[in-house]
Homo-oligomer: A and B are copies of this chain.
Amino acid sequence: MPYPQGVTARRPPAARSSAPAELELIERIRLRAVATRTRELRLGIGDDCAVLRPHPGEEIVVTTDLSLAGRHFRMDWHPPEAVGHRTLARGLSDLAAMGARPVAAFLSLGLPRELVEKHTGRPRKTWIDRFLDGFLALADATGTPLAGGDLAESTVFAADIVLLGAVRRGKALLRSAARPGDLLYVTGSLGGAAFGLQRLAEWRRASAGSAEVSNIPRSRAAELGRHLYPQPRLAQGEALVRRSLATAGLDISDGLSTDLAHLCEESRVAAEVDAQAIPIASGATLEQALHGGEDYELLFTARASARVPQAIDDVPVTRIGRILRRDRRRPQMTLLTAQGPEPLLARGWQHFSQPIHDVRR
A residues within 8 Å of B by Cβ?
A: 1-8, 10-16, 20, 22-23, 26, 42-43, 46-54, 56, 59-68, 70-72, 94-95, 97-98, 100, 104, 106, 108-110, 113, 116, 147-156, 158, 160, 162, 164-165, 167, 169, 172, 174-176, 194, 197, 250-251, 253-255, 258, 261-262, 264-266, 287-288, 291-294, 332, 345-356, 359-360
Contacts and interface: CB of A to CB of B under 8 A. Distances in A.
Nearest to A16: B346
**Which of A4, A53, A287, A332: most chain B CB closer than 10 A?**
A4
Given A14-B265, A62-B52, A108-B64, A293 B1 contact: yes
A329 B72 CA distance: 53
Contact of A97 (B15, B49, B165, B351): B49
A324 to B, nearest CB: 15
18 contacts: A1-B347, A2-B350, A2-B353, A5-B253, A5-B349, A6-B65, A11-B265, A13-B264, A14-B261, A20-B352, A46-B175, A50-B63, A51-B167, A52-B59, A60-B60, A64-B148, A66-B160, A113-B352
A86 B169 CA distance: 34
B175 A66 contact: no
A3 B148 contact: no
Given A14-B261, A48-B251, 14 more contacts: A1-B293, A4-B355, A6-B65, A15-B345, A16-B346, A46-B266, A48-B250, A49-B172, A50-B62, A52-B62, A62-B164, A65-B150, A66-B110, A156-B156
A3 B287 CA distance: 13
A292 B220 CA distance: 53
Contact of A266 (B47, B100, B104): B47
